[in-house]
Amino acid sequence: MNVLIKNIKSLVGIRDAGVDRVRGNELINLPFISNAFLLISNGTIAAFGKMDEIHLSPLNESLNETVDAHNRVVMPCYCDSHTHLVFADTREQEFIYKIQGLSYAEIASKGGGILNSAKKLNAASEEFLIETTLQRIEQIIQHGTGAVEIKSGYGLSYESELKMLRVIAKLKIISPIPIKATFLGAHAFPLEYKNNRQGYLRLLVEELLPTIANEQLADYCDVFCDEGFFTPDETDVVLQAAWKYGIKPKIHANQLAVSGGVQAGVRNKAVSVDHLENISEEEIRCLQNSNTIPTLLPSAAFFLRMQYPPARTMIEADLPVTLASDYNPGSSPSGRMSFVVSLACIHMKMTPEEALNAATINGAAAMELSDLLGSVTIGKKANLIITKPINSIANIPYHFGDDLIERVIIS
């Protein structure tokens, strides 16, 4: 199957193979070719270049389809490296509580929040969860996402955490886009373990992790390391146990407070530390001396009316800032990455180029998928967005709430 996209106004996000992530002042550069073509062969990017060099490309094989992208931008799909896409029900009642003045922490302490989702997930069948999550995957693909990470963490019991991870494993097989699975048993302490935190840690470490490793159900292990949730010491216990099985950390840190989560992530060699609404110079220094990616989730800050993470400070510190949606029923009930990019530009003062790099190649890096996705590179998967006619890529964040997508190509 060969598809040619021709007359592309601007083909953006071009990277050499081997570029894993972009950091600091490299982020401002989103390399592009004007008046370009791109050839897809059997699901991968086979060639691209200037239209006047099209005769040099290997087009002798018969084309199955030619797409005219006149006045349109072609860019890599978003790589959404942080979601909680498997859930049994929405939580709009809590949305109303929030409007009436309750905080996220107050709702959580009333047994709402994550525990509310856990109660509903316990009652849901695997079939129901597969069907509804697949619908969400199809929806985010329409919004331009071409790879996604999905966490457990609404199970909070042996059976239900495994149920969530088995659902994700089945979705990996049937989903049109690549999925990475993350075990987030340490999302909250279930009520029955409220006064027995050690007991819950034992369940995670001694019972769940061995089964998960044995069935190869998780690519990563997450902990909600934050005030009122898991302490840095408890985080160490879970992450060290995960490492014994070769499962790398990707954690929630510093959403609610400067909590020691960044340091816990870095000392446990986390692939990424995510949220970072609360961060001081010390955390930034800690990230500078590490390979850990800071992933920012501005739609959660937006939805919870919290302060946004200081993206500019992190970019000035030469960090590979990444953007993800945090799609979940409690703090970010949307997986629309173009809106995440808008928020990053409007509230975090990232330029459109910086935000698009953060949401594509760096998102891929935060899922260790940079060799496969996140840029226009020969040999990478052809997961691409063709926009509607637009003046420039700045229109994407500028028209917040719209996607400006004409077509999403998956492979």
**Closest distance between ligand NIG and the C-beta of residue 256, in Å?**
8
Give the per-residue contact string, 275-304, with ligand NIG (x = CB under 6 A; - = no).
-------------------------x----
Region for residue 306 given its phi and psi (left: phi exceeds 0; alpha: psi -120 to 50; beta: otherwise): beta
| Residue 330 contacts ligand NIG per CB under 6 A | yes
CB-based contacts of 18, cutoff 8 Å, min separation 6: none
| Stretch of 70-78, 172-180, 324-332, 399-407 contacting ligand NIG, by CB under 6 A | 324-332
- Nearest CA-CA partner of 20 in 296, 276, 322: 322
Label residues 182-195 b or e (16+ Cβ within 10 Å = b): bbbbbbbbbeebee
Nearest-angstrom CA–CA distance, 380 and 52: 23
| Residue 114 contacts ligand NIG per CB under 6 A | yes
| Residue 327 contacts ligand NIG per CB under 6 A | no
The site partner of 114 among Fe ion, ligand NIG, none (C-beta below 5 to 8 Å per kind) is ligand NIG
| Residue 117 contacts ligand NIG per CB under 6 A | yes
C-alpha 299, offset from chain centre: 12
Q: CB-wise, 162 or 297, nearer to ligand NIG? A: 297
What is the bridge-based pairing of β-strands 2-12 and 65-68? parallel
Q: How many other C-beta atoms can be found within 10 angstroms of the C-beta atom of residue 386?
A: 20
- The residue from 183, 220, 224, 302 that contacts ligand NIG (CB under 6 A) is 224
**Closest distance between ligand NIG and the C-beta of residue 153, in Å?**
7
**Which residue shows structure tokens 């173009």?**
338
Using CA atoms, how far residue 318 sits from 164, 270, 391, in Å, is 36, 18, 30
**Closest distance between ligand NIG and the C-beta of residue 82, in Å?**
7
| Stretch of 179-187, 189-197, 321-329, 380-388 contacting Fe ion, by CB under 5 A | 321-329
Q: Which residue has the CB atom at the shortest distance from Fe ion?
A: 326
* DSSP 8-state secondary structure symbol assigned to residue 44: E
Q: CB-wise, 76 or 330, nearer to ligand NIG? A: 330
Residue 279: burial class (beta carbons within 10 Å; 0-12, 13-18, 19+): buried
Q: CB-wise, 251 or 376, nearer to Fe ion? A: 251
Measured CA angle at 33 (ends 28, 36), to 5 deg: 150
Give the per-residue contact string, 239-268, with ligand NIG (x = CB under 6 A; - = no).
-------------x--x-------------
Q: CB-wise, 47 or 105, nearer to ligand NIG? A: 105
| Residue 283 contacts Fe ion per CB under 5 A | no
**Closest distance between ligand NIG and the C-beta of residue 63, in Å?**
44
Q: CB-wise, 328 or 342, nearer to ligand NIG? A: 328
| Residue 326 contacts Fe ion per CB under 5 A | yes
Nearest-angstrom CA–CA distance, 254 and 287: 13
| Stretch of 12-20, 30-38, 112-120, 381-389 contacting ligand NIG, by CB under 6 A | 112-120
Q: Which of residues 67-86 bind ligand NIG (CB under 6 A)?
A: 84
Region for residue 167 given its phi and psi (left: phi exceeds 0; alpha: psi -120 to 50; beta: otherwise): alpha
- Nearest CA-CA partner of 226 in 189, 195, 182, 181: 189
Q: CB-wise, 149 or 403, nearer to ligand NIG? A: 149
| Stretch of 110-118, 122-130, 138-146, 346-354 contacting ligand NIG, by CB under 6 A | 110-118
Helices (H), 196-351: 197-202, 209-214, 232-244, 261-267, 281-288, 298-303, 311-316, 337-348
| Residue 113 contacts ligand NIG per CB under 6 A | yes
Q: Which residue has the CB atom at the shortest distance from ligand NIG?
A: 330
State the sign of the Cα–Cα–Cα–Cα dihedral 365, 371, 376, 381.
Answer: negative
Q: CB-wise, 11 or 147, nearer to Fe ion? A: 147
The residues of the shown chain that bind Fe ion, judged by CB under 5 A, are 326
Q: Which positions touch ligand NIG (CB under 6 A)?
A: 84, 113-114, 117, 224, 252, 255, 300, 326, 328-331
